[in-house]
Amino acid sequence: MKTAYVFLGILVLALALGLVFLAGGDEKNPGSINGGVVSEDSNSENGNVVTFEVSGKNFRFFRDNLESPELKVKQGDRVRIVFTNEEGFHDFVIDEFAGARTKQIPAGSSETIEFAADKAGTFEYYCSVGKHRANGMFGKLIVE
């Protein structure tokens, strides 16, 4: 009987370790995405337009498979965000800039917004649906 308890204990420990390994731990991989610029158009009548493609799913934003990427632009640039919702119901919001808010869109939908990065600093973008922001659906826009 004692052997059965030892075997059961080892089995439970192995399963627990397997779950931790499969879950990927508690690590996040925030990345800097200046290289993730889809395009820059310096011939625009409104100045340099920097375009980012960002997707939303699993209560996170992604760009080039990086979670919660930093989006970097220069002050005076126009920023174009092509937001694609891959799952659930999400939006993309930056409070500090006029025009930096998509509608709340369903899965499979996209919306494009464009705004002027007219002030320098670090600004948070987030999803305003329910408690998505509190659950980690946010990232940073850095205007240099």
Q: Tell me, what's the pLDDT at 121?
A: 98
Q: Tell me, what's the pLDDT at 135?
A: 95
- How far apart are alpha carbons 26 and 29 in whole angstroms? 10
Q: Tell me, what's the pLDDT at 2?
A: 72
Phi/psi for 107 (5° steps) reads: -55, 140
0.75 cut: is pTM over it?
Answer: no
| Residue 11 lies inside a defined structural domain of this protein | no
Domain extent for 77? 28-143
When divided into structural domains, the chain yields a total of 1
Q: Which of 27, 24, 118 is nearest to 76 (CA)?
A: 118
Residues of the chain where predicted confidence (pLDDT) is lower than 50: 17-39, 43-44
Phi/psi for 16 (5° steps) reads: -65, -45
Q: Tell me, what's the pLDDT at 124?
A: 98
Q: Tell me, what's the pLDDT at 32?
A: 38
Q: CB-hemisphere CA count at 13 Å for 106?
A: 0
Tokens of 37: 């610029």
* CATH code, domain with 74: 2.60.40.420
In a 3-state reduction of DSSP, which class is residue 44?
coil
- Environment class of 130 (CB within 10 Å of its CB; exposed 0-12, middle 13-18, buried 19+): middle
| Residue 63 lies inside a defined structural domain of this protein | yes
